[in-house]
Structure 1
Amino acid sequence: MIRAVLALCLLLAWPAAAQDDPARAAAEAAARLEEAARLLDSAEGGRDRVEALTATLRAYEDGLAALRDGLRRAAIRARAIELDLAAREAEVSRLLGVLSTLSSAPAPLLLLHPSGPTGTARSGMILSDVTPALHAEAEALRSQLEELALLRLLQDEAAETLSGGLAGAQEARAALSEAIAERTDLPRRFSEDRIAMAALLASADTLAAFAEGLPVTVAAEGPGAAPPAPEPGSLPLPVEGTLLRGFDQPDAAGIRRPGWILAARPGALVTAPAAATIRYAGPLLDYGQVVIVEPGPDLLIVLAGLATVYGTPGEVVPAGTPLGLMGGAEPADVQQILTETTGPVAGTRSETLYVEVRNGQSAVDPAAWFASRP
């Protein structure tokens, strides 16, 4: 995977000013893959292993994103070259014909002119002026054809690279799930009253009602301390995504939700935006799999729409701890990548995560708590 991303950097090196960003992103992703592999090899304890696997999975996500972006750019560039060559077909044919004549005919014969020495001298002068321009045109054509060959080679070899990257990412997800299940070193603030939680799940008909009833699900206080409350406007996003619908904005059916809807990639890792206590993890109403964390007194962050959730109520997790994975499957075929829609939801970001922030008994705009608008 690392070699493939580095090869992608080299193949995307035309002209540097136009392709600098994707090449740099691919190089950084390759460096992160190498660093994550070193972290994974050196991990010993449960928490170290979770952190190393989290870094590994992030690196795979970055590398695959760079590969997808590079493949699309390569396809666009290849198509542009093909169209340019097709538009200049007659010109290219004439150039090849002239070059063929120049290369096959003896030089003295090219300079001879039927009108005699004067005409021969003039033809020599004209030929000396024209030849550099012909060579320049031939060099530009050669560069285009070489670039097109490299781009086609990239697309031909990308299937194996993509398959290996997807397999590596899936292996990292499975290992991460196993490491989190085996983790025993997290402090606990409380133990859950399962009977009270079951009753709350059966009776709550809204997310607000469920959030308000969470205090009654605490069976006993634990030794863990509550994490310090974060500063408003300081939190990173729980998933790398694009804002699809903002706070209290209606959807196509006119339904309003007091939170954000983020479009994310299939299988994307969802992490805790701050050190927090897990208050709930599991299915809830029509929200799918949900994680509710408490980063501070009377402050809840609801993350809904996941396919897999991690953690147990009562655990205190550090910032950046994996809380779950988005659903869906990444395209495993190069042609799918080249033809998929590049909008915020279709194609690369086909999954949606609902993010709600509750301060006290009210839902507030997440913009007040997160550092940047997605």
Structure 2
Amino acid sequence: MIRVTALALIILLLAAIGLPGLAMPGSQAVGQYPDAAEAREALEAARQQQRNARARAERLERQSRQSEKTAETALGNAALLAARVQQSEAAITAAEAELAIVSAQRSTLDRQLARKREPLMRLTAALQTMSRRPLALAALQPGSLEDVVHTRAALSAAMPVVRKRTEALRGDLSRARALEDQRASSLRNLRSAEEDLKERRSDLIALAQRERIRSQQASGGASREAERALVLSEEARDLDAFVGQLEQAGSIRSRLAALPGPVLRPSSGGDASAPAKAPVPSPTPSATAPPNRYILPVAGTVVAGFGEASVAGSRTSGIALASRPGAQVVSPGEGRVAFAGPYRGFGQIIIVEHDNGWTSLVTGLGDVSVAVGQTVTAGSPLGSAAASRPEVTLELRKNGDPVNPLDHLR
């Protein structure tokens, strides 16, 4: 009877502690999140960015269907693809955060299971030794029959306790299997988002290249303007002076564009003394209004706010965003590209002129996909973030004075 009871206990314990453990391939926690709390914050932020990008893409899709102008359609399609790229990037970030959370939970559960398994394994070893002992040998030893009775009573009392403990252990292992299923789902979402990103980014690169060529062909003076901007960038003593010079040039260009065209000579049959009627200018909502729609240029985390003290002691004139390596960078608002290219100490930068004296400066890009003179809208692709330790900065200026861009997001 002792042997039967011991064997039953052994089978029960082996069934519990012999179930698959947690050391599954790829179950290590994602390294970029130090703890689960930070991973949850990143997950919530990524999901919000994913929702924002999806909403922007759907709005651009509706506008593209309603637009009858070819140029507006091309501009909207580029912004639409850029929004889809940012949506895929946010989906990847969300999947990575989910994996980090699951990995942290699995690691904690693994440690708990290790502590619970150790005493059960010792008990299993003792019961295995007892089950191998011949019953005849036990009967020949002095006091063996009395020991048999006591052992049987002890095993009968221990059986409910063992069952209860192994039941809890089996529950933990079921939770481990559920976590593994959740991890597999997150991995599938990650792979799917990566495939979408690869396809969308390829389409966007091709479309942006075509749009840049088309814009250069449509604007004959763009190359000369780009050369002048390059000369100014080399002559300016610092970035602030460079932006100021570009703003001044843009103001002059806007005033020239606003001048009325030549007055047509009256026809021979008309009254030569009658004054020609000047065209009535269309009213504008405000001569100082900021861009109608203004967004962040890249999906990421704000690591430096407007007006914060830098390491050198000066105050920042914009905000800095930490993003994914090679993340899609878009135009924060509608306008015209005044400069696109490298600038000493700032990597690749882009300066966008908006209406009413507003200017946006985007720095820290790894590469640019627009050219000087090109028209952009809020969400148009500008390029991508750096491949290593990316940090994209955004400055918004009104007539040369820095303002907080976060106050104008809409």
C-alpha separation between the residues in 2 aligned to 1:63 and 1:289?
26
TM-score (norm 1): 0.63
Equivalent residue, structure 1, for 2:245: 213
Instruction: Answer yes or no: is the 8 Å Cα contact 2:91–2:190 preserved in 1.
Output: no
Equivalent residue, structure 2, for 1:235: 294
- Structure 2: runs of 5 or more not aligned: 1-38, 129-144, 262-281
Equivalent residue, structure 1, for 2:207: 179
Root-mean-square deviation over aligned CA pairs: 5.2
C-alpha separation between the residues in 2 aligned to 1:24 and 1:300?
28
- Structure 1: runs of 5 or more not aligned: 1-17, 101-113, 330-349
Q: 1:209 to 1:189 in 2, by over 3 A?
A: farther
Identity of matched residues, %: 23
Instruction: Answer yes or no: is the 8 Å Cα contact 1:232–1:368 preserved in 2.
Output: no
AA of the residue aligned to 1:272? S
Q: 2:347 aligned with 1:288, yes or no?
A: yes
C-alpha separation between the residues in 2 aligned to 1:145 and 1:273?
45
Q: Which runs of 4+ in 1 moved over 6 A?
A: 23-26, 42-45, 94-100, 122-129, 225-229
Deviations 1:212-251 (A, max 9, x none): 222437598499x999875599733221222222234333
Equivalent residue, structure 2, for 1:143: 174
C-alpha separation between the residues in 1 aligned to 2:322 and 2:44?
25
Equivalent residue, structure 2, for 1:61: 89
AA of the residue aligned to 2:331? A
How big is the shift at 1:307?
A: 1.2
Deviations 1:193-225 (A, max 9, x none): 4343233123212222212222437598499x9
Return the match for 1:133 from 164, 171, 174: 164
Return the match for 1:247 from 293, 306, 320: 306
Instruction: Answer yes or no: is the 8 Å Cα contact 2:336–2:373 preserved in 1.
Output: yes
Equivalent residue, structure 1, for 2:393: 354
Q: 1:201 to 1:232 in 2, by over 3 A?
A: closer
Q: 1:207 to 1:227 in 2, by over 3 A?
A: farther
- Number of residue pairs the alignment of both structures matches: 315
Question: What does 1:94-105 align with in structure 2 at a 5 Å threshold?
Answer: none
Instruction: Answer yes or no: is the 8 Å Cα contact 1:278–1:317 preserved in 2.
Output: yes
Q: Which of the two has higher C-alpha Rg?
A: 2
Equivalent residue, structure 2, for 1:341: none
C-alpha separation between the residues in 2 aligned to 1:227 and 1:170?
41
AA of the residue aligned to 1:72? A
Instruction: Answer yes or no: is the 8 Å Cα contact 2:309–2:315 preserved in 1.
Output: yes
Q: 2:358 aligned with 1:299, yes or no?
A: yes
AA of the residue aligned to 2:177? E
C-alpha separation between the residues in 2 aligned to 1:145 and 1:98?
28
Q: 2:229 aligned with 1:197, yes or no?
A: yes
C-alpha separation between the residues in 2 aligned to 1:182 and 1:227?
34
Instruction: Answer yes or no: is the 8 Å Cα contact 2:50–2:87 preserved in 1.
Output: yes
How big is the shift at 1:312?
A: 3.0
How big is the shift at 1:58?
A: 1.9
C-alpha separation between the residues in 2 aligned to 1:164 and 1:129?
48
C-alpha separation between the residues in 2 aligned to 1:208 and 1:138?
65
C-alpha separation between the residues in 2 aligned to 1:227 and 1:180?
32
Equivalent residue, structure 1, for 2:99: 71
AA of the residue aligned to 2:381? P
Equivalent residue, structure 2, for 1:106: none
TM-score (norm 2): 0.59
AA of the residue aligned to 1:318? T
Equivalent residue, structure 1, for 2:408: 369
Q: 2:317 aligned with 1:275, yes or no?
A: no
